[in-house]
């Protein structure tokens, strides 16, 4: 049971509810807020009144309730400024995928999801000419093709976003370096 202290009743050591606490004898609220709908009561306790600070006399406020959790759960998450504007600041995104048998790369326009250029070692012309479809030389060919096809589509700058714990090394590094060497700028 929560208790509220007043300076006049601080000397008393018993909990004494006021006479109008449970009955109908309380003042009408001056405003229409939910705090004003509770009756104003004077419950005393043996404590120093200077240590207790009350925001709303007569109401005990809980730190965390189910209602608070429901409000937070219903509130839609809002994307940050960077998340909302990044697709317009860096519109072309490079996607690279390595499977056990092939290497795939494509450049996508983020706002419209249109594919600008595609290169894969699974394509007929590369499948028959390359000795291996997954080695470093295949990665260099894919990088050169992506750069040429992007420049033909008037795309001279693109972005690459590695996965959460992804490192830019090995075959991925070879593809990115080859694209840079062939005239594409990474932003």
What are the residue boundaries of the structural domains of the chain, listed by start?
A: 1-61, 86-186
- Tell me: the pLDDT tens digits for 60-118? 555 555 566 666 666 677 888 988 898 899 999 999 999 999 999 999 999 999 999 99
Second CATH level (architecture) for the domain 86-186 = 2-Layer Sandwich (3.30)
DSSP 35: G
Q: Which residue has the tokens 């229409």?
A: 32
Mean pLDDT of all residues in 12-32 = 53
- Tell me: the pLDDT tens digits for 127-165? 999 999 999 999 999 999 999 999 999 999 999 999 888
Q: Which residue has the tokens 């009955």?
A: 23
Helices (H), the chain: 66-74, 81-89, 124-129, 136-152, 171-181
pLDDT of residue 27 exceeding 90: no
User: Among 16-20, 49-53, 54-58, 98-102, which stretch is predicted with the lowest mean pLDDT?
Assistant: 16-20
Query: Which pLDDT value is given to residue 176?
Result: 97
Does the CA dihedral 174-178-181-186 come out positive or negative? Answer: negative
Model's pTM, two decimal places?
0.58
pLDDT of residue 10 exceeding 50: no
Query: Which pLDDT value is given to residue 77?
Result: 77
Collapsing DSSP to helix, strand or coil, 174 comes out as helix
């Amino acid at each position: 049971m929560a208790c509220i202290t007043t300076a006049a009743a601080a000397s008393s050591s018993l909990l004494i509810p006021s006479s109008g606490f449970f009955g109908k004898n309380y003042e009408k609220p001056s405003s229409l807020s939910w705090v004003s709908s509770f009756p104003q009561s004077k419950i005393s306790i043996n404590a120093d009144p200077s240590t207790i600070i009350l925001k709303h006399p007569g109401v005990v406020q809980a730190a965390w309730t189910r209602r608070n959790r429901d409000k937070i759960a219903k509130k839609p998450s809002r994307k940050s400024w960077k998340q909302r504007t990044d697709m317009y600041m860096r519109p072309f995104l490079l996607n690279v995928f390595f499977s056990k048998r092939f290497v795939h790369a494509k450049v996508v326009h983020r706002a419209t999801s249109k594919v600008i250029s595609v290169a894969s070692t699974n394509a007929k012309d590369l499948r028959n000419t390359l000795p291996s479809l997954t080695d470093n030389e295949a990665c260099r060919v894919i990088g050169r093709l992506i750069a040429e096809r992007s420049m033909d589509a008037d795309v001279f700058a693109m972005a690459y976003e590695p996965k959460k714990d992804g490192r830019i090394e090995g075959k991925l590094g070879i593809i990115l370096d080859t694209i840079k060497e062939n005239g594409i700028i990474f932003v």
